Chain A
Amino acid sequence: MTERIETRVVGARLPFVDGVEKVTGATQYVADLRLPGMLTGMALRSPHPHARILQVDTSRAERLTGVHAVLSRKNTPPNRFGINHKDETAFCREKVRYIGDEVAAVAAVDEETAREALALIQVEYELLPAVTDPFLALAGGVPPVHEDIQGNIASQFHVVRGEVDAAFDAADACFEDEFHTHLAHQAYIEPTGCAATWCPGDEITVWGCLQSVFVIRTFMLSPVMGLAPDKFRVIQTKPGGAFGGKLDVKAALIAAMLSRAAQRPVRFLLSLREDLISMRPRMPVHISLQSAFRKDGKLLGKRVRIVAENGAYSSLSPAIMSSVALRTDNLYRTPAVDIEAKLVYTNICPTGQMRGFGNVQATFAWESHLDNAAAGLGIDPLDLRLRNYVEKGDVTLHGWKIASCGVSDAARYAAGAIGWAEKRKRGGRGRGVGLASTIHVSGNKGFAVELGPDDTEPSSADVRIKEDGKIEVWTGESDLGQGSASVMAYIAAEELALPVEDFEVPPTDTGCMPFGFGAFASRITLIGGNAVKIAAGEARKALLRAAGEVLETSPEELVVEGREIAVKGFPSRRTSVTEVVRAAGGLIQGRGTWLAGGEVLDKKKYGNPSTTYSFATHAAEVEVDLETGIVTVLRVTAGHDPGRVINCLGAEGQVEGGAVQAMSYCLMEGLFPEEGRIRGANFHDYLIATSLDVPPVEYQFFETIDPHGPYGAKGLAETAINPTAAAIANAVFHATGARIHTLPLTPERVLEAIEAARAKRQ
């Protein structure tokens, strides 16, 4: 194990640096922004899942008093954008492809005028059959969602490693299952929005609740508007939750285009309904699994078939499907796999990334299947896992290098805390326990190529000690509320040995801050944290150099005490930090850049995509009402290997919140399009867990002190959500003998599965 460094601030139980401003309502979210002369932007969305646009007449809207801009295909460029495939335009051109697709947008003096203007836009459609079933979309004989894409396939691959047929031939037992996951929205409480202001010379400033201010310029704003990326200054407003959904934010583009057309500031805010029907909810996948085991529980091989629902546009779905396909093979020593995956265009909203990035779906399927295998093999599910987990030093069959690994400890803890040994003996009769494990990346080189300057996945930071003694940490990595700003402040405070309350971490801003990819792939603590650590170390050196000049001694002779710097052994020879900064010209700063480890995968998807990997195991205890099928989660226990905890309250909050989000996904929530139409796009139909629904969550962190992470830290946000749905489904299986293959576990499905299990036993 890498050595654990003793710390003063890192890992301490400290409040979030922005806690007070948030709890007093002082934080400015994008909807709170007021710019002089600001107009209201609003979009006209397609009411049809699939139709040809015969005509768009905006003339009456343009003539309406108070309307400053009307945009549609008539006056906007056909330039395409997209992270994985360029298949989307700012406004629909020949066709609309889902209910909610943007056909036009207006900017007007107020909400009422904007709404009236939208009503004056006349669009003539020729309806086309909607392709909403991914299997039918593949079967052929249906119209293509995109004319230039054959067979409605957005992406496909076939990965074969090891001797799969031989593995199945040699197996003592083989198992087979099919799982289906549903469309689920990030359901952050703050609806998405952006504001923009245009200045002469085509300088455009965009504000918004964004997970990455840098990448939105590169893949969306710049290519669509035909302006160089540095024509855009993108400033983050603190997001009111994001969970993956605010990475790919088209509102930024529409606000910027409206502002340019109106030559006025424009605010473009989605209503909750628009957000629920048109953003990028978690991709539904259909996974068929076959596994081969030796009778002692050794996993020999897997065959995996995946059909994933892309929706109308690709966004990040091809990368998400890769994650679904490969992820769980790196958690257990897997000698051979045969994976075939297809991503299918349909006429539903574009699907995308929600916390877990495909791993939630993959983990639900594989970890459910693993418990079926355990039952078939007559091996305890915990033992079966312990016999197959990867270990530190392993290189997995896909090429992942496991630099630190605490999954066995995490699993033993989660099981022990739920009362595993005792409760597993008493299954059935509606009460049961189950568990599931997960592995997750801390950054992903795959994105570096799609989104970044090159394949180094860099992160940079500036630590700035100002004249007033306050220290600003400028990082290109965005806080979404998960507490990464506090992570950065604690790391910088640790390195500089100055009081933590003097540190500020402003929201990201491409206009002045150094580059960072932003918040996704659980990358910030490791990659951004390393950059801040280097920057703070440089700032410390600069501070001591400057203090040495003031105190007329060498920097090595100095020590930082509180907000002062003193000469070792001569405590009366001292000066204050503010004095030193003033003497140095008003600012002392350090810059740090860290390049992520790992590599870009080769064409066969082989390689080590992340610097290191995090692990967790969650266990759940459930009660199933055998009459009604209602599942109640009584308790969740969670063992986690985040390398090392930097922000203690933040880490705990990630685990508590992640487990609850997963429970909500597993039991309660979902968007269920019928013929492409999402009914009940509001919070009384889209049910997320309330204070009445949540179980207590207990946890323990196993700090493996990763060799690459700052102080040994790795990512945590996504390991916190990945395993819980599977743990609950496995607990339901233990409680009832019924295996449910389709999410969410609605009472109807649970009753049906109990009935099926009963019929099978008889």
Chain B
Amino acid sequence: MSRYEVAFRVNGEERRDSVRGEDTLLRTLRELGHVDVKTSCEAGDCGACAVLLDGEAVNACLVLTAQADGCEIVTVRGIGTEGNLHPIQRQIVEKGGVQCGFCTPGIVVAAKALLDRNPAPSLEDIRRGLAGNLCRCTGYQKLFEAIVAAALEMRG
């Protein structure tokens, strides 16, 4: 079976791997230990595996690892960690936009991509920005509030 040598950066760190052509970025990232990227539908429907690929939010289950060669990848842990929360993360916690937490890494990634390209989104923009991320617990309302608050905070 042919294998491909790939190199990319994940959360600022250089990673190298030898992968098969059919390996998805989701599988590779999780095998490399980035289990903050979650597996659910594996068909691009739920957004649980969303990561930033060169700044764009993508579903890692729909990207072949070979396609990510040379790319800059950011997962939720590249956006913020326990001692150093990103405003999006802090606001989701403070507004109560997290329940089971399984969709949350993907939501944080989608929200980051949204605020990067649109620092002052309307409610409609936020709804569209999260349209690829399924959340079964919250009903989304507190996520909308959190993203509005994060955008305000980030604009200063």
Bound Cα distance from A321 to B78, whole angstroms: 48
Given contacts A16-B96, A656-B138, contact A31 B35 (CB under 8 A): yes
Q: Give A479's nearest chain B residue, CB to CB.
A: B100
Q: Is the CB of A15 within 8 A of B99?
A: no
**Is B43's CB under 8 angstroms from A20's CB?**
no
Instruction: Give every chain B residue within 8 A of A649 (Cβ-Cβ).
Output: 95-96, 142
Q: Is the CB of A691 within 8 A of B89?
A: no
A271 with B100: CB separation less than 8 A: no
Known: A652-B142, A691-B127, A692-B131. A23 touches B137 (CB 8 A): no
Within the complex, what minimum Cβ distance (angstroms) separates A634 from chain B? Answer: 14
Does residue A482 face the partner (Cβ distance < 8 Å to B)? yes
Contact of A22 among B75, B101, B127, B133 (CB under 8 A): B101
Nearest-CB residue, chain A, relative to B135: A189
B40 partner, pick from A16, A191, A650, beta carbons under 8 A = A191
Contact among A21, A483, A688, A694 for B141, CB-based, below 8 A: A694
CA gap between A483 and B141 in the complex, in Å:
17
B13 within 8 A of A: no
- Chain A: minimal CB distance from B76 (Å): 4
Cβ–Cβ contact B98 & A19, under 8 A: yes
Complex CA–CA separation, A653 to B140 (angstroms): 9
Bound CA span A68–B46, Å:
33
Q: At the interface, yes or no: B92 with Cβ under 8 Å from chain A?
A: yes
Q: Which residues of B have CB within 8 Å of A240?
A: 38, 40, 100-103
User: A189 touching B103 by the CB < 8 A rule?
Assistant: yes
Q: Are A26 and B102 in contact (CB under 8 A)?
A: no
Give the one of A15, A16, A23 with max B CB within 10 A: A23
Shortest beta-carbon distance from A367 to chain B in Å: 21
Whether A683 contacts B136 by the Cβ 8 Å rule is no
List residues 95-117 of chain B with CB under 8 A from any CB of chain A.
95-96, 98-105, 108
Q: A482-B99, A653-B99, A657-B138 are contacts. A25–B41 as well, Cβ < 8 Å? A: no
Instruction: Produce 1/0 per residue, A625-660, CB < 8 A to B.
Output: 000000000000000000000000110110011111
A74-118 Cβ-contact flags toward B at 8 Å (1 or 0): 000000000000000000000000000000000000000000000
Contacts of B35 in A (CB 8 A): 25, 28, 31-32
A350 to B134, CA, bound (A): 26
Closest residue of chain A to B90 (Cβ to Cβ) is: A23
By a CB distance below 8 angstroms, the chain A residues around B141 are 656, 694, 696-697
Decide: B93 and A660 in contact? CB cutoff 8 A: no
A25-B139 Cα distance, complex, nearest whole Å: 20
* Residues of chain A within 8 A of B77, CB atoms compared: 24-26
The docked-state distance in angstroms from the alpha carbon of A436 to that of B148 is 32
Interface size on B, residues (CB 8 A): 52
* A residues near B108, Cβ cutoff 8 Å: 23, 25
List chain B residues, Cβ under 8 A from A692.
127-128, 131
B36 at the interface (CB under 8 A from A): yes
Chain B 117-139 against A: per-residue CB contact (8 Å), 1 yes, 0 no? 00000000011111101111111
Contact of B85 among A20, A187, A653, A694 (CB under 8 A): A20
Chain A residues whose C-beta falls within 8 Å of the C-beta of B38 in the assembled complex: 29, 31, 189-190, 240
Find A241's partner among B36, B76, B102, B140 (CB 8 Å cutoff): B102
Cα distance, A494 to B86, chains bound together (Å)? 30
Q: Are A24 and B41 in contact (CB under 8 A)?
A: no
Selected contact of A653 from candidates B42, B101, B104, B137, CB within 8 Å: B137
* Minimum C-beta distance from B87 to chain A (A): 11
Whether B139 contacts A29 by the Cβ 8 Å rule is no
- List the B residue with the shortest CB-CB distance to A647: B96
A576 interface hit (Cβ, 8 Å): no
A188 within 8 A of B: yes
Q: Give the Cβ gap from A14 to chain B, nearest Cβ, in Å.
A: 9
Give A448 Cβ to nearest chain B Cβ, in Å. 27
Q: Give bound CA distance, A16 to B146, whole Å.
A: 14
Chain A nearest CB from B43 CB (Å) reads: 6
Residues of A within 8 A of B126 (CB): 691
Query: Is A481 touching B96 in the complex (CB atoms < 8 A)?
Result: no
Taking the closest CB of chain A, its distance from the CB of B20, in whole angstroms, is 10
Q: How far is the CA of A684 from the CA of B132 in the complex (A)?
A: 11
Cβ contacts under 8 Å, A65 to chain B:
none
Task: Assess A481 versus B101: contact at CB under 8 Å? Given A15-B96, A24-B81, A26-B82.
Answer: yes
Chain A residues contacting B134 (CB-CB under 8 Å) are 189, 683, 688, 690
Tell me if A241 and B136 are in contact (CB < 8 A): yes
A22 to B108, CA, bound (A): 11
In the complex, the chain A residue whose C-beta lies closest to that of B45 is A683
**Any B CB within 8 A of the CB of A138:** no
Q: B135 and A24: CB pair below 8 A? A: no
Q: Closest B-chain residue to A22, C-beta based?
A: B101
Contact A694 B89 (CB under 8 A): no
A414 to chain B, nearest CB (A): 16
Q: Considering the complex, which residues of chain A in the window 688-717 have a beta carbon less than 8 Å from any beta carbon of chain B?
A: 688-692, 694, 696-697
A residues less than 8 Å from B45 (CB atoms): 682-684
A-B contact pairs, 7 of them (CB 8 A): A25-B108, A186-B136, A189-B48, A189-B134, A243-B136, A656-B142, A691-B143
8 shortest interchain CB distances as A-B pairs: A481-B100, A25-B36, A240-B102, A22-B101, A649-B96, A660-B139, A683-B45, A19-B93
Chain B residues within 8 Å of A, Cβ to Cβ: 35-43, 45-46, 48, 75-77, 80-82, 85, 89, 92-96, 98-105, 108, 126-131, 133-144
A residues in contact (CB < 8 Å) with B: 15-16, 18-29, 31-32, 186-191, 238-243, 271-272, 480-483, 649-650, 652-653, 656-661, 682-684, 688-692, 694, 696-697
15 further interface pairs, Cβ-Cβ under 8 Å (given A23-B98, A25-B75): A23-B89, A24-B80, A189-B40, A240-B40, A240-B100, A272-B43, A649-B96, A657-B138, A659-B139, A683-B40, A683-B134, A690-B134, A691-B143, A692-B131, A694-B141
